[in-house]
Structure 1
């Protein structure tokens, strides 16, 4: 097992999901869990994570389903249909991973944001709905709803940012349905659209960074 003093993002294999932990010298106590899109690996969202929160601990996690030269989070049937058993099994496993990783690395779950892109965003929303109370702050880039049956879930303590791409013709049309679904379960949802396709970049980083800053102000005022 890699020792806790490692800060260079060495691949760790000590939990159910492979992951890399990036802990900056001037870490503030914030944490970003990064869940990549299909066909790549855990390294791809690290630059975006650093752009959004340069002083946050980054936990970059690798999906366990092999796809071409990379990985994904659960099995796909078509581009917009997914194997339900796979979704639930991987969601349950990731919920356990969250608990184990936060304990092992002394992370503050109340100060953690789950940043997911595409298939990774869909895994995050599934955790929210199947394990309510575990993920209370989520930034979902280019997501869509994937669960055929959603159990009752109290998401009144959860807040989510959903960012769709205006030119994302395959997945963009599904984003409003996910926003509605999360709101129906009590989550506070900020749904936005950026001038982009399915790809992500600077506009997404700026939107997430501003949303997190505004959320922090709102929480401080409420307390």
Structure 2
């Protein structure tokens, strides 16, 4: 028996998305949904999440769109243009998955954080805009806006961290537009820039930890 129970980390196929559940025996009760970037799988964000919150439960989910040697969350037209029906279909399905996995594993969604990277971050922002109420805190690494027709959504109870890479020439220029979009829907935004490209690393982990500490302080004060 290791830090995690013997069944943790196994690929689970009991819901609409394939996923892995990691639950430390000394879990704090906090939970992270992990949404990976394009062309990889659900395991790629686990080390980063462990660096951020070593005692949190992790739900590492696999996108359903197959791409080359990995997976993504919705279909793309170009690196910065995406198929709108695919975004909405997969976001709707993921909203149902969040509800189902919370019921199945007795998760407290008020203590849940969403950590998304690149295409996974874009799925999280779509989830906030299309299914308000499911996401209260989200850390989005290297994101951009992807929805063409955004509904009138109230995000006044949502706290969002956006981290762009200074050398990410393809995607960083779109980050300010996402900040503006979510701010217009009343989300509380903390926007940061790290000296990196599209890749993520320990600098991102440190910022997310700091941001989560501030979120916890706000919750206790409230």
TM-score w.r.t. length of structure 2: 0.97
Give the direction of change, closer, same or farther, for the CA distance of 1:48–1:123 in structure 2 (3 Å limit). Answer: same
Q: CA deviation at 1:145?
A: 0.1
- Cα shift readout 1:117-149 (whole Å, capped 9, x = no counterpart): 000000000000000111110000000000000
Give the direction of change, closer, same or farther, for the CA distance of 1:6–1:97 in structure 2 (3 Å limit). Answer: farther
Q: How does 1:57-72 map to 2 (within 5 A)?
A: 57-72=57-72
| Structure 2: unaligned runs, 5 residues or longer | none
2:216 maps to 216
1:145 maps to 145
Distance in 2 (CA, whole Å) between partners of 1:17 and 1:215 is 29
- Cα shift readout 1:149-175 (whole Å, capped 9, x = no counterpart): 001101010010000000000000000
Pairing 1:96–2:96 present: yes
Q: How does 1:196-215 map to 2 (within 5 A)?
A: 196-215=196-215
Q: CA deviation at 1:221?
A: 1.6
| Structure 1: unaligned runs, 5 residues or longer | none
Distance in 2 (CA, whole Å) between partners of 1:90 and 1:207 is 29
Q: CA deviation at 1:7?
A: 4.3
CA contact (8 A) 1:7 1:24 kept: no
Distance in 2 (CA, whole Å) between partners of 1:210 and 1:57 is 19
Pairing 1:115–2:80 present: no
SS of the counterpart of 2:167?
coil
- Cα shift readout 1:153-208 (whole Å, capped 9, x = no counterpart): 01010010000000000000000100110010010000000000000000000000
CA contact (8 A) 1:7 1:23 kept: no
Q: CA deviation at 1:6?
A: 5.1
Q: CA deviation at 1:214?
A: 1.0
How many aligned residue pairs are there? 218
Q: Which runs of 4+ in 1 moved over 2 A?
A: 5-8
